[in-house]
């Protein structure tokens, strides 16, 4: 089994457990992209918290893309890669 298939299967089971539709591949990639950006641009612990906040915002009616872009705009861009922010 490939890692992507395992991830897709796990996400489908987690979504079903929460009575939700499984996220699309595009949505999964978009979330992984923003959490990677936050982890590298802020701090690693901020990544899952950012995903949580985006999820809460979307659950309250925010547009998913707008929520991700709003969080991405908060990531510092001026420090060299790998430098603590």
pLDDT band at 1 (very low <50, low <70, confident <90, very high): low
Provide the pLDDT for residue 81. Answer: 54
Provide the pLDDT for residue 77. Answer: 86
First-to-last alpha carbon distance for the chain, in angstroms, is 38
**How is the chain split into domains, by residue range?**
24-75
Write out 8-20 in H/E/C secondary structure.
Answer: HHHHHHHHHHCCC
State the chain's mean pLDDT as an integer: 90
**Range 8-33 average pLDDT:** 95
Distance CA 51, CA 67 (A): 10
């Amino acid at each position: 089994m490939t890692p992507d298939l395992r991830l897709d299967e796990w996400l489908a089971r987690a979504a079903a457990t929460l009575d939700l539709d499984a996220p699309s591949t595009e949505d999964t990639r978009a979330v992984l992209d923003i959490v990677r950006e936050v982890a590298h641009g802020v701090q690693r612990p901020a990544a899952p918290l950012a995903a949580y906040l985006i999820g809460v915002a979307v659950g309250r009616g925010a547009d998913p893309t707008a929520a991700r872009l709003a969080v991405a705009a908060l990531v510092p861009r001026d420090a060299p890669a790998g430098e603590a922010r």
